[in-house]
Structure 1
Amino acid sequence: MDTEPLIALDPSWPKISLAEAEARLTAPGAPFEMEISTINGVPTRVWKNAPPSLAWLIQAARAHGERPFTIYEDERVSYEANFRAVATLAGKLGEMGIGKGDRVALAMRNLPEWPVIFFAVASVGAIVVPLNAWWTAGELEYGIRDSGATLLFVDDERYQRLHAHAAELPVLERIIVARASVALDGQASRLEDLIGTPHDYATLPDLPLPQVQIAPDDDATIFYTSGTTGDPKGALGTHRNMMTNILSSGYNAARAVLRRGEEMPPPAPRTTLTVIPLFHVTACSAAMMGGIAAGHSMIFMRKWDTIRAMEIIEREKVHITGGVPTIAWQILEHPDRAKYDLSSLEAIAYGGAPSAPELVRRIHAEFGALPGNGWGMTETMATVTGHSSEDYLNRPTSAGPPVAVADLKIMDEAGEKELPVGEVGELWARGPMIVKGYWNKPEATAATFVDGWVRTGDLARLDEEGFLYVVDRAKDMIIRGGENIYSSEVENVLYAHPAVTDCALIGIPHRTLGEEPAAVVHLAPGMEASEAELQAWVRERLAIFKTPVAIRFVSETLPRNANGKILKKDLKILFEDRVDRAA
């Protein structure tokens, strides 16, 4: 099933193998040439041509001049204007005494101010701590205390959310608020008093960035994990981690072109509709870093709205969008889609959650756009594998092969033995994108990061060509009477049903079997399917013990966190009647 194409591919495809593509792209003098660098004592393949730091990148991006960098409602900030704002704010940070190693937290929705703050902090050698803007006040307080941030940048909403907790954050010396709608008190001040509004950035003085010595492996960021079990952990990333994504994204795109037998086209700026929050590594590291290098324009939305998104795609001639599969489904299935010209779309890419093979086919068939996916996590600063174009259409349940500087292996549960091709075990990853460890958590770091490898907690397998198939999170695997049930296997079968557009498999307690599989399903508009029909559908395609014992239908797409992961623990309440019987 994994190798059956969803569309009729050119029988001569692929023109070259993955190994041949890698050899061409990484040859001496080629754009993706590699070299060996020692990182934390471990010799590691790295991209030879990766920028050395975030400061270097934002300085070089000034060459994109008046091309729009960020677009938010009526605010259009050019690359030149953005650099002036970054340099001005970086100078102000120096005046505040912010320097190398200091932690500066950032909690706001996607706004033009976000990348300005991010690059200004990184350019003075401080560590940026992007906090989840969806967090409650208590969760934000945790991130500030855990990171030891002394300075906090927030937008108006986050300021008001945290205002009552100010006394509980003695470590904070100063709060700077963007777009404040209320009077500020205490140690709070307005960002606009430092750099003006986005409309003002182009008129700021032409100042240089502060001269700070920054090495590729210096600390740059602390991104917090999703925290689905216990408190979130802060993943300590480096400038090299962030810069690796630029070349990794380019490598994935170039590999797809060579596999098609074409020559690399000259780079051309694109317009992207960015709907993933920038506090997530997918948006900040995988999307924004490469986008800046290429001169892309990033459009932000206040919140996701399908009609509004289609209006923007039509008006701005958006080339690339995506984020999580739900967004692609909502555009595809919207009854007013035909009213909008979406022909500019060239690619719809997403990560953070598995997608239905049917979605892959429909993106290509109905938009003429190429689907894209990949695998990464907070601990890998995003991109490790890339999957797009014909390779994705040919292997719709895969996350793609690793980039040339990354290694993957499948290990047994004890982490002592590498498993052979095709067997399912824990996925381990290695490369220059792997973060240093967890901030102030030496025990968790030692358990997760081993000699340059990160133990991902994902259950996966690799095929003969190195394509990755993630079958489940280790903690989400359902064990029914000693038999392992991988969620993605059952979910993919459910997705294949024409009425199903969103689904999740969870385990519910059972007195004698331990647990049983149950499913939550969202149906496509205007479509119908019963519990019995979907159970029969699964039973015909998988072993009977994998068939959901109960299916609950929901009217909306399933709840997800900001990273796009389905909140499976929130679904268990739908099966309370069965849990009571199992007790």
Structure 2
Amino acid sequence: MTDPFALPPDWPALPFREAEEKLTAPGSPFAIETRLIRGVPIRVWTHAPPTLRDVFLRARTHGQKTFVVYGAERASFEGFHRAAIAVAHALAEAGIVKGDRVAIALRNLPEWPVCYYGALIAGAIATPLNAWWTGPELAYALAHSGARALVADGDRFFRIHPHRDTLPALESVFLTRAAPEPGTRALGDLIGPPGTWADLPDRAMPDVPLGPEDDATLFYTSGTTGRPKGALGTHRAAATTVMAYPYSAARSALRRGAAPPRPDPAAPQRAALLVIPLFHVTGCHGTMGGALYGGHRLVMMHRWDPAAALDLIEAEGCTGAGGVPTIAWQLAEAARAAGRALPSLETVTYGGAPAAGDLVRALREAFPHAAPATGWGMTETSATFTHHQAEDYIAHPDSCGPPLPVCETRIRDPLGRDLPPGAVGELCVRGPNIVRGYWDDPQATAEVFSDGWLRTGDLARVDGEGFVTVVDRIKDMLIRGGENIHCIEVENVLYAHPDVIDAVVLPVPHPTLGEEPGAVVALAEGARATPDEIRAFAAARLAAFKVPVRVVVWDGLLPRNPAGKILRAPLRSVFSGDGETPSR
């Protein structure tokens, strides 16, 4: 059989479009075709797994390789498979049927993927809950989703317990990492500790038919204000994501004139340091799904700590790391301060929040052997929608990359008209990874979903090659005396200051101009830049009306939600006069 990726020794680096055409041609592992999805013609990967059950079955082929590491605990792919099927049968015995919601309220633990896939194999809609939420927030999502079963660790259970009377639909609770409580079932009695999962009985999967367009997941949006919405995703939407990173790596190779990497069962196992919460689509679909599909090891941390992360990367030989941009910054700072280049690292990938172009420089200095990578996605896009790395990222450091070849973008003006390349407007996207709507919210669904297209609420521009640059959130744009100021533009300049590792631009009320830009920044450990010095740095790089009129240095990192988005609400009082200025 002809190798579709075979290249002669003198093959030149391919232009972007030629690389994409070669990779997506018929016969390629990344071939694409068009199918009708909910009445709309959508491009799909020809060879993508059609459902998450297929991802699950693929994972078992990796056998006794280690799937997950958590401290001293380790579990193999085979052990994961047997434990997840045990959970699926327990859910079926508890009365869970296809379409029921099974909520998962756990921190990142080895049990998380077991319970998630156990729910899916039982035919349920897996409903991950934000492990950082308070009791009332967890109770809201349980009530809103109508979850009939819940898997929780001790911390989450005791937040939820006072609200049990408000959750009549919740019939079964499985408890882990905590002493048994009345009305709960110990998950450990079903599956035991991770190291023994491979010794569980080899049982058949429940006989539940699953198709690509069946509902599979209910992820709650990580909005920074208001009630979160439940994004209802299909099996196809979630399973599509496992193709994203392998495709991006193959395209990157062709772009530099090399042959794309091929799966090699005899090669050393790849490993990823997992610091993104699994209740976020990037952690679940992008990282965990990719690990299951590709046979990679997931190395979990109990709590993020840059120094501990360096030790884990070295000890486990991690080939990939990352998270949100703030984590990438901290990892680079810690490695540089410790003089540890971590040669096993091949990529440092981040997303979930805007990343300053200067982060590329910091990562290349800290990890000369690793390729920086970034992308863009939302809960509603089932994680990765755009992505690029290495040379393409270095050449476009302010861009979040081009869309995957099965994904489409449009830039539209406020009247819904398409704008030409380079123009700034609302980013609208379409593809097989778009969720089908919001749970029990037809009005919100109608507002942002139409004919397969999703209105993202992001202001962006797309160049002639398709590289997307997000300029701002529509609602976060400032207007100073009639002049538009895109907060991300100003924030990127602030990030370029060598002492700044976190930044947000917020409105400062003005009696005649309406509002002016103000900035709250966090500094690297030991940095001593003053607000005036940071303002001067910005003034040398921005038009005068864009320069923050005030800069406040925040004590510690800026508050963020688990998706990495800065929580603007608690920072607004800095400039509104409603609270004290938290500076150092």
Counterpart position of 1:405: 406
Counterpart position of 2:375: 374
Counterpart position of 2:278: 278
Counterpart position of 1:437: 437
Contact 1:314 1:340 in 2 (8 A): no
- 3-state DSSP class of the match of 1:334? helix
Counterpart position of 1:90: 88
Contact 2:94 2:172 in 1 (8 A): no
Structure 1 position 386, deviation (Å): 0.4
Q: Distance in 1 between matches of 2:328 and 2:259?
A: 29
Structure 1 position 337, deviation (Å): 4.8
Q: TM-score, normalised by structure 1?
A: 0.94
Structure 1 position 250, deviation (Å): 1.6
Q: Distance in 1 between matches of 2:579 and 2:142?
A: 38
Counterpart position of 1:575: 575
Q: Distance in 2 between matches of 1:464 and 1:195?
A: 53
Counterpart position of 1:490: 490
Residue 136 (1) aligns with residue 137 (2): no
Structure 1 position 524, deviation (Å): 2.3
CA change 1:38–1:266 in 2 (3 A) is same
Deviations 1:489-541 (Å, cap 9, x if unpaired)?
11111122222222111112222222110001122233332222222222222
Deviations 1:449-471 (Å, cap 9, x if unpaired)?
01000000001111121100001
Structure 1 position 240, deviation (Å): 0.3
Q: Distance in 1 between matches of 2:329 and 2:445?
A: 37
Residue 474 (1) aligns with residue 471 (2): no
Residue 224 (1) aligns with residue 225 (2): no
Runs of 4+ in 1 over 4 A off after TM superposition: none
Q: Distance in 1 between matches of 2:513 and 2:551?
A: 19
1:118 maps to which of 112, 116, 119: 116
> 1:138 corresponds to which letter in structure 2?
P
Structure 1 position 366, deviation (Å): 2.3
Q: How does 1:355-366 map to 2 (within 5 A)?
A: 355-366=355-366
Q: Distance in 2 between matches of 1:401 and 1:390?
A: 13
Q: How does 1:225-240 map to 2 (within 5 A)?
A: 225-240=221-236
CA change 1:353–1:14 in 2 (3 A) is farther
Counterpart position of 1:395: 396
CA change 1:250–1:334 in 2 (3 A) is closer
Q: Distance in 2 between matches of 1:570 and 1:484?
A: 24
Deviations 1:95-139 (Å, cap 9, x if unpaired)?
222121111111100101000011111112110000000000000
Q: Distance in 2 between matches of 1:306 and 1:499?
A: 17
Q: Distance in 1 between matches of 2:142 and 2:482?
A: 43
CA change 1:13–1:188 in 2 (3 A) is same
Counterpart position of 1:148: 146
Q: How does 1:7-406 map to 2 (within 5 A)?
A: 15-181=13-179, 183-185=180-182, 187-267=183-263, 269-334=269-334, 337-338=337-338, 342-368=342-368, 369-406=370-407
Q: Distance in 2 between matches of 1:318 and 1:55?
A: 27
Q: Distance in 1 between matches of 2:482 and 2:172?
A: 55
Residue 565 (1) aligns with residue 565 (2): yes
- 3-state DSSP class of the match of 2:388? strand
CA change 1:68–1:156 in 2 (3 A) is same
Structure 1 position 340, deviation (Å): 5.0
- 3-state DSSP class of the match of 1:552? strand
Structure 1 position 575, deviation (Å): 2.0
Q: Distance in 2 between matches of 1:498 and 1:174?
A: 52
> 1:398 corresponds to which letter in structure 2?
S
Contact 1:323 1:351 in 2 (8 A): yes
Deviations 1:62-101 (Å, cap 9, x if unpaired)?
1101110011011100001110111111122222221211
Q: How does 1:551-562 map to 2 (within 5 A)?
A: 551-562=551-562
Structure 1 position 339, deviation (Å): 6.3
Q: Distance in 2 between matches of 1:68 and 1:579?
A: 50
Q: Distance in 2 between matches of 1:179 and 1:336?
A: 36
Contact 1:314 1:341 in 2 (8 A): no
Q: Distance in 2 between matches of 1:395 and 1:325?
A: 16
Deviates more, 1:429-438 or 1:357-366: 357-366
Counterpart position of 2:5: none
> 2:213 corresponds to which letter in structure 1?
D
Q: Distance in 1 between matches of 2:15 and 2:186?
A: 55
Counterpart position of 2:4: none
Unmatched segments (≥5 aa) in structure 1? 1-11
Structure 1 position 364, deviation (Å): 1.7
Deviations 1:391-419 (Å, cap 9, x if unpaired)?
111111100001100000110123x2011
Q: Distance in 2 between matches of 1:46 and 1:172?
A: 37
Q: Distance in 1 between matches of 2:578 and 2:513?
A: 14
- 3-state DSSP class of the match of 2:385? strand
CA change 1:131–1:293 in 2 (3 A) is same
> 1:366 corresponds to which letter in structure 2?
A
Q: Distance in 1 between matches of 2:341 and 2:489?
A: 36
Structure 1 position 289, deviation (Å): 1.1
Structure 1 position 336, deviation (Å): 8.2
Name the % identity: 52
Contact 1:13 1:259 in 2 (8 A): no
Structure 1 position 335, deviation (Å): 7.8
Counterpart position of 1:5: none
Q: Distance in 1 between matches of 2:412 and 2:579?
A: 34
Q: TM-score, normalised by structure 2?
A: 0.94
Q: Distance in 1 between matches of 2:92 and 2:139?
A: 25
Counterpart position of 2:420: 420
Q: Distance in 2 between matches of 1:401 and 1:361?
A: 21
Structure 1 position 249, deviation (Å): 2.1
CA change 1:13–1:308 in 2 (3 A) is farther
Structure 1 position 215, deviation (Å): 0.6
- 3-state DSSP class of the match of 1:373? strand
Contact 2:335 2:341 in 1 (8 A): no
Contact 2:98 2:122 in 1 (8 A): yes
Contact 1:425 1:460 in 2 (8 A): yes
Contact 2:249 2:261 in 1 (8 A): no
Structure 1 position 569, deviation (Å): 1.8
Residue 462 (1) aligns with residue 458 (2): no
CA change 1:32–1:423 in 2 (3 A) is same
> 1:215 corresponds to which letter in structure 2?
G
CA change 1:579–1:142 in 2 (3 A) is closer
Contact 2:329 2:362 in 1 (8 A): no
Structure 1 position 265, deviation (Å): 2.3
Deviates more, 1:383-392 or 1:196-205: 196-205
Query: C-alpha root-mean-square deviation of aligned residues, in Å?
Result: 1.8
- 3-state DSSP class of the match of 1:64? coil
Q: Distance in 1 between matches of 2:335 and 2:30?
A: 44
Q: Distance in 1 between matches of 2:518 and 2:120?
A: 46
> 1:86 corresponds to which letter in structure 2?
A
| Total equivalences in the alignment | 566
Q: How does 1:447-458 map to 2 (within 5 A)?
A: 447-458=447-458
- 3-state DSSP class of the match of 1:249? helix
> 1:72 corresponds to which letter in structure 2?
Y
> 2:279 corresponds to which letter in structure 1?
F
